[in-house]
Amino acid sequence: MQVSVKPYLFLKTALGSKELILELPDRSAVSDLLEILRNQYGLQDLIATEYGNIILIENDQPTGLVILVDGRNIKQLQGLNTLLTEGSLITLFPPAAGG
């Protein structure tokens, strides 16, 4: 199945693209996608930014990384076990803070 990955902010640089089209096996989950991004696209668990280091993944859990599947946060779905489907859009961005 084919899915799209759209990273935002410094994650574009970390993955080397503003959008990735990936071919995944059927019944792949978000955890499988993260493994591919880490192993084949060099996504690091910790990324140095101009604002300091951001831990994206800690103990195989996304801590500084918000993951949406078709516009829905995986925290409201099945987390890393959320299954992807043909044409899914996975959006990646760091958590925002402001005041």
Q: Which residues are bridge partners to 68 per DSSP?
A: 73, 91
Domains defined along the chain, listed by start:
2-93 (3.10.20.30)
The answer to pTM > 0.75 is yes
Tokens standing for residue 31 = 């955890």
Tokens standing for residue 75 = 């925290």
d(CA 56, CA 41): 15
Of the chain, the percentage scoring pLDDT greater than 70 comes to 96
Q: What is the pLDDT of residue 97?
A: 55
41-69 per-position pLDDT tens digit: 988 888 887 777 888 888 888 888 899 99
Higher pLDDT pick, 87 / 50: 87
